[in-house]
Amino acid sequence: MRNRTINEQAGDDHPHGDGRQAFNRRARDPGDALALQEEERAHSGHSEQSLNALAVSATTHCLTGCAIGEVAGMAIGTAFGWGNLATVALAVGLAYLFGFGLTSLPLFRAGLTLTAIVPIALAADTVSITIMEIIDNAFVLLIPGAMDAGLGDVLLWASVAGGFVVAYPFAFLANRYLIARGKGHAVVHEYHH
């Protein structure tokens, strides 16, 4: 018969308890220790997968809002013949608007008020949108002729897409870091149903 952890003795049957605490509280039975180490490895891998999956979801969500704003901004600026600075400013502004807007949708559906939603959306996406926008726009500006290309020119859209491809892993790492600490999209995720 194996010895029970303090949590088990107290009747705490939560399936995701802290394995290290349970390990430290178990009797010194080598069979129990080996079984618990295997259990901890499996749980750690699951947590890591969940963290990565949530970070991918948050980053893809951020990318979607940024892409909608960037494409709209580039299209409007190019169609009106605006200069690079005005076009980039509009594209960045719209990227933030659409990024925060997409983040706000599940919060509105959950019944939160606008005054509750704004700080949550800002906390969830400001870092990742900023990373996406800095890298994407720098990439587009560095591609010769991209900002002078017309709406029908593949160079414009390929450079925008390329910038997002380059930006994605950096935004992913930022989202993962924040989520692991209970910040960023971890807060928004509570309202996704």
DSSP label of 143: S
Residue 182 is predicted with a pLDDT of 86
pLDDT above 90 for 13: no
For residue 80, the number of C-alpha atoms closer than 13 Å in the C-beta half-sphere is: 11
Q: What is the C-alpha to C-alpha distance for residues 53 and 71, in angstroms, rounded to an integer?
A: 26
| Rounded mean pLDDT, 44-64 | 83
How crowded is residue 31: how many other Cβ atoms within 10 Å of its Cβ?
8
What residue spans define the domains of the chain?
49-189
Q: What is the model's pTM? A: 0.71
Quick: pLDDT tens for 141-192.
899 998 888 888 999 889 999 999 999 999 999 999 999 998 887 777 777 6
Higher local confidence (pLDDT), 40 or 140: 140
Place of tokens 């010769």: 144
Helix/strand/coil for 184: coil
Q: How many CB atoms lie within 10 A of CB 80?
A: 10
